[in-house]
């Protein structure tokens, strides 16, 4: 990395909850199988709840919430949301109330992440509407009721994909840069699963700020690639404004997103199942079937087709352990 993080990042309110830095590990047997050097950034080991990428976002989101005097956190997603589980763990840690608004109706049996969110003290509400966007209206309705009762709610959108949340992966970019320099590794690509787009937005902006030469390749598991590109660009631009760095977003390369949705959002793919088995047996990695396994499947496909660049590739393991224990799509 050519430069350090912008000074403004250190002035943004943040509650340090995650176990950082997360390891950057080589995967020699997986590399041999794919014919390309693979390293893994272990953000499944962030240590909040079951761990995962949402922990980095929640640090900044709860920092803003507590700085503003919030006494209850509202967030939402699907019945098996990793984000909701991690947010519930973070709020329990700092002593804030948590309300989770989930789309659809109560599932039977409950996914692991939902059971854990309840265990962690979250109050859970369902929209009775299978449209994921119903969560947004549900959050606003609950927030309005709480305000009328004299509470001070702070609303976190689905997946923590906000400009403030994206700062978690701007910071992570510089963490990764130090580790790459120490390991003597100069990757050509960083590959990750892209859902609500906040993680990739932070990585893309971070790479622009740091002068990183690698490409950030997102494998969408949730939305059409074109929608992801728009969301990533918008989130990165707003995050750059928070850091007084508008030029970084303006000069950022267009986000690169490929389609990894397969049979549908929240549904496992045959390629993902094969990738999860290869990652488990070749690198000891546990990938959830609907997010990280699909991203690994794309990495494998790119390697086998000879489309990866010549240099090393970093796979960002964004977590999702709940999905291996009966969890669902976030």
pLDDT at 4: 87
Neighbours of 197 (CB within 10 A): 28
Helices within 5-160 (DSSP H only): 7-11, 28-34, 54-67, 82-94, 112-119, 134-148
Does one domain contain both 177 and 305?
yes
* Least trusted range by pLDDT, from 76-85, 192-201, 301-310: 301-310
CA torsion 114-267-318-258 (nearest 10°) is -150
Q: How far apart are CA 312 and CA 113, in angstroms?
A: 34
pLDDT confidence band for 1 (50 / 70 / 90): very low
Q: Is the pLDDT of residue 329 over 60?
A: no
Q: What is the pLDDT of residues 18-56, one digit of tens each?
A: 999 999 999 999 999 999 999 999 999 999 999 999 999
Does one domain contain both 181 and 313?
yes
Q: What percent of the chain has pLDDT over 70?
A: 97
Q: How far apart are CA 318 and CA 285, in angstroms?
A: 11
Does one domain contain both 215 and 245?
yes
Q: How many domains does the chain have?
A: 2
Angle at which helix 163-183 crosses helix 54-67, to 10 degrees, equals: 130
Confirm whether 81 is a catalytic residue: yes
Q: Is the pLDDT of residue 295 over 80?
A: yes
Q: What is the pLDDT of residues 212-271, one digit of tens each?
A: 999 999 999 999 999 999 999 999 999 999 999 999 999 999 999 999 999 999 999 999
What's the pTM? 0.96
In a domain, 2, yes or no: no
Q: What is the pLDDT of residues 226-243, one digit of tens each?
A: 999 999 999 999 999 999
Contact at 8 Å (CB) between 157 and 195? no
Does one domain contain both 216 and 73?
no
**What residue numbers bound the domain in which 110 lies?**
59-160
pLDDT at 148: 98
pLDDT at 2: 52
Does one domain contain both 27 and 63?
no
Q: What is the pLDDT of residues 80-131, one digit of tens each?
A: 999 999 999 999 999 999 999 999 999 999 999 999 999 999 999 999 999 9
The continuous run of DSSP H or E covering 283 comes out as helix 270-283
Q: Is the pLDDT of residue 327 over 70?
A: no
Q: How far apart are CA 301 and CA 308, in angstroms?
A: 9
Does one domain contain both 211 and 297?
yes
In a domain, 119, yes or no: yes
Residue 22 belongs to domain with CATH number: 3.40.50.1100
Does one domain contain both 260 and 178?
yes
Once rounded to an integer, what is the mean pLDDT over residues 149-157?
97
Among candidate residues 323, 311, 328, 317, the one with its CA nearest the CA of residue 36? 311
Once rounded to an integer, what is the mean pLDDT over residues 269-294?
97
In a domain, 267, yes or no: yes
In a domain, 330, yes or no: no
**Long-range contact pairs involving 29-32 (C-beta distance under 8 Å, separation at least 24):** 29/282, 29/283, 30/278, 30/279, 30/282, 30/283
In a domain, 11, yes or no: yes
Does one domain contain both 149 and 174?
no
Residue whose pair of structure tokens reads 């702070």 in the numeric block: 154
pLDDT at 323: 87
Q: How far apart are CA 74 and CA 84, in angstroms?
A: 9
Q: Residues 81, 196, 233, 269: which is the catalytic one? A: 81
């Amino acid at each position: 990395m050519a430069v350090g993080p912008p000074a403004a990042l250190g002035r943004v309110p943040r509650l340090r909850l995650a176990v950082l830095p997360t390891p950057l590990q080589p995967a020699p047997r997986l590399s041999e199988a794919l014919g390309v050097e693979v390293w893994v950034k272990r953000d499944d080991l962030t240590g909040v709840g079951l761990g995962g990428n949402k922990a980095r976002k929640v640090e900044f989101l709860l920092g803003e919430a507590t700085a503003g005097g919030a006494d209850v956190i509202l967030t939402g997603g699907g019945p098996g949301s990793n984000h909701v589980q991690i947010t519930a763990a973070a709020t329990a840690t700092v002593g804030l109330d948590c309300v989770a608004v989930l789309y659809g109706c109560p599932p039977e049996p409950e996914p692991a992440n939902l059971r854990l969110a309840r265990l962690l003290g979250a109050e859970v509400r369902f929209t009775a509407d299978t449209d994921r966007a119903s969560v947004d209206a549900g959050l606003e309705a609950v927030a309005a009721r709480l305000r009328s009762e004299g509470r001070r709610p702070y609303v976190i959108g689905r997946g923590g994909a906000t400009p403030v949340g994206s700062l978690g992966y701007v910071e992570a970019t510089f963490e990764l840069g130090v580790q790459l320099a120490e390991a003597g590794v100069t990757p050509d690509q960083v590959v990750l699963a892209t859902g609500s787009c906040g993680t990739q937005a932070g990585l893309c902006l971070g790479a622009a700020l740091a002068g990183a030469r690698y490409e950030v390749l997102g494998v969408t598991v949730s939305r059409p690639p074109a929608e992801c590109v728009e969301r990533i660009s918008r989130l990165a631009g707003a995050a750059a404004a928070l850091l007084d760095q508008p030029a970084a977003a303006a000069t950022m390369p267009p986000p690169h997103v490929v389609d990894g949705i397969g049979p549908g959002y929240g549904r496992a793919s045959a390629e993902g199942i094969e990738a999860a088995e290869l990652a488990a047996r070749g690198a000891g990695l546990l990938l959830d079937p609907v997010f990280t396994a699909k991203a690994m499947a794309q990495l494998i496909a790119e390697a086998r087709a000879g489309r990866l660049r010549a240099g090393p590739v970093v796979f960002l393991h964004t977590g999702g352990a709940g999905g291996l224990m009966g969890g669902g799509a976030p």
